[in-house]
């Protein structure tokens, strides 16, 4: 094949640089602004990339108790418990449906898969949560999205693709179905489970709609609801936190955003290399 032209290379480089900048600039801007002082914010327009007098005042404001601290704890709790519950149920179901010839497995699988076709809708879901007595409980943030049919299919395909010999060997050695899952299947599927955990954790961490629908008290709010009220709708935070705050409003808002984004930024690099495989198993085999 011929060498790429210099013009082509330059154009490609330029476009890719712009694409990367379009993703990175807003995130860096948000992080920078959260450390900025009032003068930095007035001087710059909108976002401060590099604060001249960095201060932690904004973080002190949101972490000294009050709305944001509480919401952060709620979000962490919901994310941890929700992800664990989702994983347990998804692993069980995916494994239960992964071996051929299990009675009724086809029917159970179809029951799960059909839910990808339709969505019960806001009103019936709301009425159900009410009837179950889950309104205004944290369970209402977890239960409605407990299992994703997509994740189920991904994990099931993975279990099915493990070599049959392994399962046979386990059986010969006298391991029951449950022992085989714990000793053979799970250790071999750590990577897929990591990706699925990320998918679930991100769903719970970002969950906003369920919180808005099902939580009446604002002292139960998770982080996204706080973001909406104090960053998007611009309500002031000081009713909840101490009035001594000296940090600029904008850097406080950006600090809340940073708190919401940073956990994602932290786990993402470790799981990123597994994505393609996980996503494709779901898309192609699903």
- Which of positions 151-180 make contact with another protein (CB under 8 A)? 152-153, 157, 160, 176-178
Residue from 89, 166, 182, 246 in contact with another protein (CB under 8 A): 89
Residue from 110, 166, 169, 242 in contact with another protein (CB under 8 A): 110
Verify binding: residue 133, another protein, rule CB under 8 A. Answer: no
Q: What is the DSSP string of 172-217?
A: HTT--HHHHIIIIIHHHTHHHHHHHHHHHHHHHHH--HHHHHH---
Closest CA to 68 of 246, 264, 229, 262: 229
- Tell me the window of 56-64, 76-84, 240-248, 252-260 that interacts with another protein (CB under 8 A): 252-260
Residue from 10, 14, 26, 171 in contact with another protein (CB under 8 A): 26
Verify binding: residue 31, another protein, rule CB under 8 A. Answer: no
- 50 DSSP 8-state letter: S
**Is the Cβ of residue 52 or residue 178 nearer to another protein in the bound state?**
178
Q: Min. distance of Cβ 46 from another protein in angstroms?
A: 4
Whether the CA torsion 267, 271, 273, 276 is positive or negative: it is negative
* Sites for another protein among residues 196-225 (CB under 8 A): 198, 202, 205-209, 213, 224
**Is the Cβ of residue 65 or residue 92 nearer to another protein in the bound state?**
92
Verify binding: residue 268, another protein, rule CB under 8 A. Answer: yes
* Sites for another protein among residues 38-57 (CB under 8 A): 45-47
- Return d(Cα 270, Cα 188) in angstroms, integer: 18
Residue owning tokens 């944290």: 138
């Amino acid at each position: 094949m011929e060498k790429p032209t210099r013009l082509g290379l330059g154009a490609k480089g330029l476009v890719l640089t712009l694409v990367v900048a379009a993703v990175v600039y807003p995130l860096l801007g948000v992080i920078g602004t959260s450390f900025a002082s009032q003068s930095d914010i007035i001087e710059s327009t909108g976002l401060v990339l590099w604060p001249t007098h960095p201060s932690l005042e904004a973080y002190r404001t949101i972490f000294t108790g009050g709305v944001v601290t509480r919401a952060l704890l709620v979000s962490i709790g919901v994310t941890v418990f929700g992800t664990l519950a989702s994983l347990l149920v998804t692993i069980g179901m995916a494994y239960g449906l992964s071996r051929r010839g299990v009675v009724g497995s086809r029917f159970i699988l179809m029951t799960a898969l059909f839910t990808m076709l339709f969505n019960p809708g806001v009103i019936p879901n709301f009425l159900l949560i009410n009837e179950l007595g889950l309104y205004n409980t944290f369970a209402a943030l977890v239960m409605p999205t407990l299992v994703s049919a997509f994740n189920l299919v991904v994990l099931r395909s993975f279990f099915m693709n493990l070599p049959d010999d392994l399962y046979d060997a386990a059986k010969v050695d006298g391991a029951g179905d449950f022992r085989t899952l714990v000793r053979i299947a799970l250790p071999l599927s750590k990577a897929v489970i990591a990706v699925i955990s990320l998918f679930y954790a991100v769903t719970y961490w970002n969950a906003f709609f369920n919180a808005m629908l099902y939580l009446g008290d604002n002292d139960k709010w998770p982080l996204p609801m706080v973001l909406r009220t104090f960053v998007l709708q611009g309500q002031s935070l000081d009713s909840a936190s101490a009035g001594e705050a000296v940090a600029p409003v904008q850097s406080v808002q950006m600090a809340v955003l940073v708190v919401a984004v940073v956990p994602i930024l932290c786990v993402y690099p470790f799981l990123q290399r597994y994505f393609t495989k996980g996503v494709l198993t779901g898309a192609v085999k699903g």
